[in-house]
């Protein structure tokens, strides 16, 4: 009897559309083909085969990256958005600041200075 592994967490299983690729991968690969192939065909006569192929690869790489890269279940554009948000849009370190009651009391003490030397601001009470 054949044995098939079934993952415990079925939420991580992605639906395959065609050629064992997801819809996202098919769209990105089609976009890469639409940009890359005409670029190669129109530029190979002007700059040569090798340079046209390098240009085609350079133009298609971002599409392949967006199709295949995934980190912690997030696609590349969401990861890039989070990185940009954390580095540039939101403030960097947000230290926890407490209100130091001791400094407030020392400031109040300094403002209640005695009028004469030897006098105190508040009378001493003896119990």
**Crossing angle for the helix pair 23-47 and 49-68, to the nearest 10 degrees:** 170
Question: What's the token pair of residue 123?
Answer: 């009378």
Q: pTM to 2 decimals?
A: 0.57
pLDDT band at 121 (very low <50, low <70, confident <90, very high): low
Cα–Cα distances in angstroms (integers) from residue 27 to residues 13, 46, 103, in the given order: 19, 30, 62
Report DSSP letters for 75-123, one per residue: EHHHHHHHHHIIIIIS-S--------HHHHHHHHHHHT--SSTT--SS-
Cα–Cα distances in angstroms (integers) from residue 64 to residues 35, 70, 94, 112, 114, in the given order: 12, 12, 37, 72, 77
Tokens 């890359």 — which residue? 36
The domain limits of the chain are 13-93
For 57-88, the pLDDT digits (tens) are 999 999 999 999 989 889 999 999 999 998 88
Torsion angle in degrees (nearest 10) through CA of 106, 107, 108, 110: 90
Give the integer Cα–Cα distance in Å for 23 and 18: 8
Give the integer Cα–Cα distance in Å for 78 and 82: 6
- pLDDT (0 to 100) of residue 113: 62
For the ranges 26-35, 67-76, 102-111, 115-124, the maximum mean pLDDT occurs at 26-35
């Amino acid at each position: 009897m054949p044995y098939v592994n079934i993952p415990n967490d079925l939420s991580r299983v992605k639906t395959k559309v065609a050629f064992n690729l997801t819809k996202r991968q098919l769209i990105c690969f089609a976009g890469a083909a639409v940009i890359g192939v005409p670029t190669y065909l129109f530029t190979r006569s002007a700059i040569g085969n090798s340079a046209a192929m390098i240009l085609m690869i350079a133009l298609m790489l971002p599409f392949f990256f967006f199709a295949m890269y995934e980190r912690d279940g997030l696609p590349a554009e969401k990861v890039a958005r989070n990185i940009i948000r954390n580095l540039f849009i939101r403030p960097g370190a947000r230290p926890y600041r407490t209100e130091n009651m001791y400094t407030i009391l020392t400031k109040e003490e300094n403002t209640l200075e005695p009028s004469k030397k030897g006098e105190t601001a508040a009378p001493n009470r003896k119990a």
